[in-house]
């Protein structure tokens, strides 16, 4: 309900006359879609952010991105800490689950650390991007653009003010690596960042299994993704074919990073080959990591399912990662998240195919992008009907909130053991 309340407030603010640029009109469905996309840190847009919205409207979008990226309960708790108010037990339980803590002790200190980390990373990112943007635009505009895109990148929301995302900077390594650093940092999640920070301070500190899984999976997906994009698009004159070798490697790396729920692009997505788009859809479905600012089924869910398949093939009894055994509860939740996500994408794609009369590939790509809260598109978003926009809004909301609220409720809620168990019987599968 908290996400819905913020989306509703954002919609009302975007409907205000001074939220829209002179000569532009905003319908209620466009305001709702934009607010949902911002709160769910997606980046899909039905109107150009840089020209349709006034400075006030853009700041509203920026605030919605920041609140949505951190999480509504976390943002409310941070505000309570900053104003000296007490955090209730229910809110403490929600925050505890969000950050993967076992107990309630030290939550206030953790929230202060989250505030400091978020502010420090985004301030450094804004200073860095302002330095680069200043060579292409006035200093004041450079700072404004730097602040907007830093917040959007750190929170893995693909909103941009340029109108063509980052395609004008496809060969600029400074801009590319600045965005890559912000996207990855936000996507790793605060639990991982805190664990890595403790390891940096104390070499004897043992990284948690969660951190090791996230870092390993993220690294493999980034490297494998970059190599695949370069190989698949190497000779495509509309994408990598027009760049030199360094530019191809750089664009391939960025295109591997951005589907992990960021939504920025340096290559024209609609010009990518179908096989590349298929691989990008897989990356969008996997998404970021738990506790991060992105969406998708999450890296740990993905690798847990792979580990369970490998365990079955190898004929082992226990599912192990890094010499540690995973519980069956983790596998059950991972499988449920995977199936719920896949079902939601299928339903969304089916609805859009029936209501919009568009091609299969653009619709499927849009559905994966909405569920993974990514923001990449093949150019069909602005042409969707009211029904199509509402369907995508629901998918973005469910992709950002659904698995989180459902499985947090399972984890927090009290479950009494069953008084009896029914007989077990084997069936044929496969």
Task: Kindly report which listed range (50-64, 100-114, 277-291, 373-387) carries the lowest average pLDDT score.
Answer: 100-114
Question: Which pLDDT band holds residue 99 (cuts at 50, 70, 90)?
Answer: low
Please choose, from the candidates 260, 207, 286, the residue with its C-alpha nearest in 3D space to the C-alpha of residue 375.
260
Is 379 a member of any domain?
yes
Instruction: Tell me the average pLDDT across 174-185.
Output: 94
Q: Collapsing DSSP states into helix, strand and coil, what is residue 361?
A: helix
Judge whether 422 lies within some domain.
no
- Contact between 287 and 370 under an 8 Å Cβ cutoff? The reply is no
Q: Which of 243, 230, 245, 286 is nearest to 262 (CA)?
A: 286
Task: With beta carbons less than 8 A apart as the criterion, state whether 319 and 326 touch.
Answer: yes
Q: How many domains does the chain have?
A: 1
Structural domain boundaries enclosing 12: 2-411
List pLDDT tens digits, range 302-332: 998 888 888 888 888 777 878 888 888 888 8
pLDDT for 205 equals 85
Residue 105 has pLDDT above 90, yes or no: no
Q: How far apart are CA 76 and CA 47, in angstroms?
A: 30
* 266 touches 176 (CB < 8 A): yes
Q: At what angle do helices 360-371 and 328-356 cross, to 10 degrees?
A: 140
Q: What is the CA radius of gyration of the chain?
A: 22
pLDDT tops 50 at residue 358: yes
Query: Per-residue confidence at 147, pLDDT binned at 50, 70, 90?
Result: very high
Most confident of 85-94, 272-281, 288-297: 272-281
* pLDDT tier for residue 389 given thresholds of 50, 70 and 90: very high
Q: What's the pLDDT score for residue 324?
A: 82
pLDDT computed for residue 111 by the predictor: 75
Residue 45 placed within a domain: yes
State the Cα–Cα distance between residues 196 and 212, nearest whole angstrom: 10
Beta carbons of 248 and 232 less than 8 angstroms apart: no
Task: Tell me the two tokens of residue 331.
Answer: 């596998």
- Decide if 53 contacts 20 (C-beta within 8 A): yes
The pLDDT of residue 72: 58
pLDDT at 174 over 90: yes
Q: Kindly tell me the burial class for residue 134, based on how many C-beta atoms sit within 10 Å of its own C-beta (0-12, 13-18, 19 or more).
A: middle
Mean pLDDT, residues 264-273 taken together: 95
* pLDDT of 412 higher than 60: no
> Residue 421 domain-assigned?
no
Residue 408, pLDDT above cutoff 60: no
Confidence band (pLDDT; 50, 70, 90) for 18?
A: very high
Rounded Cα distance, 262 and 287, in Å: 9
Range of lowest pLDDT (17-26, 364-373, 413-422): 413-422
Q: To 10 degrees, what angle do helices 386-412 and 2-15 make?
A: 150
- 324-326/319-321 β-pairing: antiparallel
| 347 has pLDDT over 90 | yes
* Residue 419 lies inside a defined structural domain of this protein: no
Q: Is residue 276 part of a domain?
A: yes
**How does the average pLDDT of the chain come out, rounded?**
86
Confidence of residue 406 (pLDDT cuts 50, 70, 90): very low
Q: For residue 100, what pLDDT is reported?
A: 59
pLDDT band at 405 (very low <50, low <70, confident <90, very high): low
The pTM for the full model equals 0.88
pLDDT in tens, 374-386: 999 999 999 999 9
> Which residues sit opposite 20 in a β-bridge?
53
- Within a 13 Å sphere around the CA of 130, how many CA atoms are in the beta-carbon half? 14
pLDDT of residue 87: 62
What is the reported pLDDT for 407?
Answer: 45
Residue 17 has what pLDDT?
Answer: 94
Mean pLDDT value across residues 207-231: 92
Asked whether residue 414 carries a pLDDT value surpassing 80, the answer given is: no
Dist CA 278 CA 273 (whole Å):
9
**Does 427 map to a domain?**
no
The answer as to whether 391 is a domain residue is yes
Q: How far apart are CA 341 and CA 344, in angstroms?
A: 5
Strand (E) or helix (H) holding 104: none
CA atoms within 13 A on the CB side of 247: 14
Q: What percent of the chain has pLDDT over 70?
A: 85
Residue 262 near residue 153, CB atoms below 8 Å: yes
Say what the pLDDT of residue 360 is: 95
Task: Please write the tens of the pLDDT for every residue from 153-169.
Answer: 999 998 999 999 999 99
- % residues pLDDT > 90 (the chain): 56
CA distance 259 to 276: 12
Q: Does the pLDDT at position 90 exceed 80? A: no
pLDDT band per the 50, 70, 90 thresholds, residue 2: confident
């Amino acid at each position: 309900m908290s996400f819905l309340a913020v989306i509703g407030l954002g919609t009302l603010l975007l409907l205000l006359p001074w939220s829209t640029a002179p000569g532009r009109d905003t319908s209620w469905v466009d305001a709702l879609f934009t607010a949902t996309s911002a709160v769910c840190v997606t980046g899909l847009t039905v109107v150009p952010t840089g020209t349709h919205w006034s400075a006030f409207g853009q700041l509203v979008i920026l605030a919605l991105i920041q609140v949505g990226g951190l999480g509504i309960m976390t943002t409310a708790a941070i505000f309570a800490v900053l104003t000296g108010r007490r955090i209730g037990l229910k809110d403490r339980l929600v925050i505890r689950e969000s950050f993967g803590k076992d107990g309630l002790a030290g939550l206030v200190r953790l929230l202060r650390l989250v505030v400091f980390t978020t502010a420090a990373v985004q301030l450094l990112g804004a200073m860095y991007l302002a330095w680069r943007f200043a060579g292409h635009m006035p200093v004041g505009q450079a700072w404004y653009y730097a602040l907007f895109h830093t917040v959007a990148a750190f929170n893995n929301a693909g909103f941009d003010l340029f109108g063509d995302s980052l395609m004008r900077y496809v060969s600029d390594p400074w801009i590319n690596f600045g965005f890559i650093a912000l996207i990855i940092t936000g996507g790793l999640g605060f639990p991982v960042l805190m664990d890595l920070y403790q390891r940096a301070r104390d070499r004897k500190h043992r990284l948690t299994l969660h951190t090791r899984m996230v870092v390993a999976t993220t690294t493999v997906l980034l490297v494998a993704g970059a190599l695949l994009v370069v190989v698949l698009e190497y000779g495509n004159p509309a994408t990598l074919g027009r760049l030199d070798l360094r530019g191809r490697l750089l664009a391939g790396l960025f295109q591997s990073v951005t589907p992990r729920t960021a939504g920025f692009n340096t290559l024209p997505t609609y010009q990518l080959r179908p096989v590349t788009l298929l691989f990008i859809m897989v990356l969008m479905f996997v998404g970021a990591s738990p506790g991060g600012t992105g969406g998708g089924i999450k890296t740990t869910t993905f690798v847990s399912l792979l580990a369970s398949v490998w365990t079955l093939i190898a004929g082992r009894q226990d599912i192990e990662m890094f010499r540690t055994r995973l519980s069956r509860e983790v596998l059950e939740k991972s499988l449920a998240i995977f199936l719920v996500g896949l079902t939601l994408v299928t339903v969304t794609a089916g609805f859009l195919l029936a209501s919009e009369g568009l091609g299969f590939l653009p619709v499927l790509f849009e559905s994966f992008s909405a569920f993974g809260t990514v923001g990449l598109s093949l150019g069909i978003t602005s042409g969707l009907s009211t029904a199509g926009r509402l369907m995508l809004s629901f998918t973005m909301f469910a992709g950002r909130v659904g698995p989180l609220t459902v499985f947090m409720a399972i984890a927090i809620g009290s479950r009494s053991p069953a008084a009896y168990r029914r007989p077990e019987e084997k069936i044929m599968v496969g």
